[in-house]
Structure 1
Amino acid sequence: MAKPDNRADNAEHLQQHVQNTLHNLHEAEQYLDEHADEISATELQDIQEKNENRKNSISKFKSEIKDET
C-alpha cells in the first residue's frame, strides 16, 4: 500500500539538503586548499565541477523552500 502524500515537512527536508550540500561544498573547498599542490589537474577539474553542481543545487533547493513556505 502506498504511503500518503504528506508534504508538511518538505521545507524542513529541503533545508536539510541545503545544509548537507553546503557541508560537502565546504569540505571540498577545504580539501582543495589543504592539498592544492598534490591534486592532479583531472581531480581538480572534477572537484570544481562538483562544487559548481552543488552551488546550483543549493540555489534550486532554496527556490523550492520558498515555494513550500
Structure 2
Amino acid sequence: MKNKIIFFLFSFLFFLETKAQCAMCRAVLESEEGKGTAEGINDGIVYLMVIPYILVFGTIFFVYKKYKSTKS
C-alpha cells in the first residue's frame, strides 16, 4: 500500500512537461510567430486541469485522516 501511494505521488507531482491543447487551439497557435502565447495557453490548461485533482485528493486525505483517528 505504501509503495502505491509513493508511486502516485511521484507520478502526480513530478511531471516534467505536458502538452495539453485541443486540436483547434494547437492549429491556431502553431501558425503564430511567437511561441510565448502557446506556452501561456499550455500553462493555463494545465493549471485548470490540476486544481480539481488537488481538491479531490485533499478531500480524500482529510476523510482518510478523520476515519483513521476515529478508528483508533
TM-score by length of 1: 0.47
Q: Which has the larger radius of gyration?
A: 2
TM-score by length of 2: 0.46
